[in-house]
Structure formats: structure tokens, C-alpha cells
Amino acid sequence: MISTETSASNRCNHRAALQCPQTNPNLPDVTITGTVIFDLITDAAAGTVRLGIRQDPPVTCNETRLVGETPAGDQYIRVPKGNNVRIIFELGGNWQWTFPPTADGITLKSASHSTRYWLTDASCPRSRTVVIQSSHVSPLENVEADDGRFDERFNIEVLINQGRGHALAVEFDPITKNPPPVGG
């Protein structure tokens, strides 16, 4: 499914929903399972908030690592070449935030990517389980050559409690590299 909406800045967003096993039972066999935790990282001096991404427990082996970092220090979700992964995305920290109760909380920027993503569990307000099928393209030979061509953008939609029953809807746009560059 694709939905189109216009944001406050009149920018048009096209979104694709993830598949679900009930409507598309061709769920790939999973070879790697892990938990990726999102957290809000604040810098009071700079007046900024950013989305932090980490794997729990931490993994250093490239074959099973699900979080990578670019040379510039930006974090991304990794889908190791030739592996289908099941990732439990959790909202971490002491923040009062949840995925929306009436929506999946994860959408994709492109319908072409939605054929490789399945939402398999949305029952917990602070987590979503997703299966991502490995891309069939060959990875770039080194991290420095990474030009973003294998980036699959998806949106994480959350509600942050502002108190008195008012929730602030926030959307994050982490990058998924499928496949990540060699060494990345």
C-alpha cells in the first residue's frame, strides 16, 4: 500500500506499508535475529536532539552486526549480504514514547523496497518486529565508496508524551544499508 500526504512544508511524502505474513505468506527464512534499540540523545549546549541506534547485546562480528557507522559517525541499520534478518526495534531510554496504537509505526519511503520488508509483530507499544530480506545486489568494495545507492529509507513514527494527555507525533528517518559496504 502506498499513501501520499503533504507535510506542513508542502513536501509530498510517498509511503509504503510493510507486508504482513497474513497477506503475503512468502516470509523468507531468517538467518540473523537481533534487537536494535532507538534512543533520543540530547545535547543541551547545542540545543539538539538526535536518534541514537545501538544493537543489544553489542556485536562486533561483521557477519551478524545489525548497526553500522559511516566514516562521518552517522549510524545505520545493516542487512548483512546474503542474510535475511529479524530485527526487534525497541524504543529505549526513560522517555515516555510509544509507537502509535492505531498504526504500524514503521513505513517505507519506496514501494520497491516494501517487497523485502515484513512487519511480524506490532503487539507491544514500545517495540516492533520486522523481517528484512537481503538485497541481491553486490556490496560496494569499501566504506569510502558508499554513495548511498543501497540506502533504503524507512520512517519510525512515535508518540512522545508531553504531559496532560498530549502526545507529540514525531517521525525519524533512519537509513538501512542493504547490503552495507564491505567493511562497513
For residue range 103-154, what is the model confidence (pLDDT) as tens digits? Answer: 788 877 766 667 778 888 888 999 999 998 887 776 666 656 666 666 776 7
- How many domains would you assign to the chain? 1
Residue 143 within a domain: yes
- The more confident residue out of 14 and 31 is 31
Does residue 182 lie within any of the structural domains? no
Q: What is the CATH number of the domain that holds 11?
A: 2.60.40.420
134 Cβ neighbours under 8 A, 6+ residues apart: 79, 80, 81, 82, 83, 84, 85, 116, 178, 179
Give domain status of residue 114, yes or no: yes
The answer to whether residue 160 is domain-embedded is: yes
| Within a domain: 74 | yes
| Parent domain of 109 | 2-177
Q: What is the pLDDT of residue 1?
A: 30
85-100 pLDDT, tens digit each: 999 999 999 999 999 9
Confidence band, pLDDT 50/70/90 cuts, at residue 161: very high
Predicted model pTM? 0.82
Separation of alpha carbons 22 and 65, rounded Å? 29
Of residues 2 and 82, more confidently modeled: 82
What pLDDT is stored for residue 150 in this prediction?
Answer: 66
- What residue ranges in the chain does DSSP mark as E strands? 2-6, 12-17, 32-43, 48-56, 67-69, 75-78, 85-91, 97-98, 106-108, 117-121, 127-132, 151-161, 167-172, 175-177
**Distance between CA atoms of residues 173 and 116, nearest Å:** 18
Residue 93 lies in a domain: yes
Is the preceding omega at residue 21 within 30 degrees of 0, hence cis? Answer: no
Q: Is 158 part of a structural domain of the chain?
A: yes
**Is 183 inside any structural domain?**
no
